[in-house]
Amino acid sequence: MIRTENLSLKIGAKMLLKPLSVELESNQLHLILGPNGAGKSTLVKLLSGQLKPTSGEVFYGEEPLSSIKMEELARFRAVLSQSVDFAFPLRVEEVVMMGRYPYFSSRPAKLDLEIVQESMRWFGILHFADRDYTTLSGGERQRVQFARIMAQIWPGDDTHRILFLDEPLTFLDVKYQYDFLKKIRNFIGTQNLTVIGVLHDLNLAARFADKQILLKEGELIVHGDQKTVLTSEHIRKAYGMEPRLIEAEGRLIIDF
């Protein structure tokens, strides 16, 4: 379980995240929702250890995140940020191999090579292996980044793994958005994995998330399952729009 106690971030006079206390259960997909400027990316960076809070603490289980060494953290926690790119040419396989850097010091072992191959196969980019990463389209680059972060936390033992995703569907067309979220759900269902991500599409969140966190202007509106979070009242409060909620074949569809 990931837990926060009065977690906040203030930069200058701006309070980016107001004190927040939540519990995020293990082996679930938690999606952070809210309009622009709500504090979604800030929360991901605090939960993952990329930013240090002004107050409060993040706990992984019973251990404070602040007490975990970075080299240890990199072996079970991976982060895909909004903008990860390279201005210099690298082969796709080399980019994916970056995910294995926490596991070797000089040369990758046979297991590292096998995991890189399997991760590329999983995301359908094995045929890109020898391509120059800089020649790929935005969507193709994003799939390479998916393979890289999954190679970092690829299951090999009983260690609980955590994956943070900050707007992972940027640049992807509809097919690959659904494909990626289905793969993530499959991983959660078969491996010891917790995923926490930022998403803008409420309908995708309704379809795939176990739990949702709804923020506005750095403040928590509500946290819980779909029936708790995605109500007309909460959506109206967060987005300033009147939603129309439709139940269709057991799924919630949100229209405006």
Which DSSP state fits 256? -
Q: What pLDDT does residue 88 have?
A: 77
pLDDT at 249: 78
Q: Which 3 state secondary structure label does DSSP give 59?
A: strand
Tell me what percent of the residues of the chain surpass a pLDDT of 70: 99
Q: Compute the distance between CA of residue 50 and CA of residue 29 in angstroms, rounded to an integer.
A: 20
Chain-centroid distance of CA 107 in Å reads 29
Burial environment of residue 231 by CB neighbours within 10 A (0 to 12, 13 to 18, 19 or more): middle
pLDDT the model gives residue 228: 95
Q: 49-85 in b/e burial notation, b at 16+ Cβ within 10 A?
A: bebebeebebbbeeeebeeeeeeebbebbbbbbeebe
**What is the span of the domain harbouring residue 133?**
77-152
**End-to-end CA separation in angstroms for the chain:** 35
Instruction: Quote the number of domains for the chain.
Output: 1
pLDDT on residue 223: 97
Q: Are 214 and 31 in contact (CB under 8 A)?
A: no
Q: Cβ–Cβ contacts within 10 Å for residue 145, how many?
A: 22
pLDDT confidence tier of residue 218, bands split at 50, 70 and 90: very high
Calculate the average pLDDT of the chain: 93
Residue 37, sorted as left (phi over 0), alpha (psi -120 to 50) or beta, turns out to be left
Residue 18 belongs to a domain: no
Q: Which of 84-93, 199-208, 233-242 has the lowest mean pLDDT?
A: 84-93
Burial of residue 200 (number of CB atoms within 10 Å: 0-12, 13-18, 19+): middle
- Would you say residue 68 lies in a domain? no
Query: Which residues contact residue 210 at a Cβ distance below 8 angstroms, ignoring those fewer than 6 apart?
Result: 25, 28, 29, 30, 225
| Residue 117 forms part of a structural domain | yes
pTM: 0.93
Residue 215 lies in a domain: no
- Mean pLDDT confidence for 30-35: 96
Whether residue 225 lies inside any domain: the answer is: no
CA atoms within 13 A on the CB side of 132: 5
Distance CA 158, CA 137 (A): 36
- The pLDDT assigned to 103 comes to 93
Structure confidence at residue 143 as a pLDDT band (50, 70, 90): very high
Would 105 be classed as within a structural domain?
yes
- Predicted confidence (pLDDT) at residue 117 exceeds the cutoff of 90: yes
Q: Is residue 98 part of a domain?
A: yes
Look at residue 41 and tell me if it is in a domain. Answer: no
- Taking only the tens place, the pLDDT of each residue in 36-72 is 999 999 999 999 999 999 999 999 999 999 999 999 9
Of the candidates 192, 196, 142, 150, the residue with the CA atom closest to the CA atom of residue 171: 142
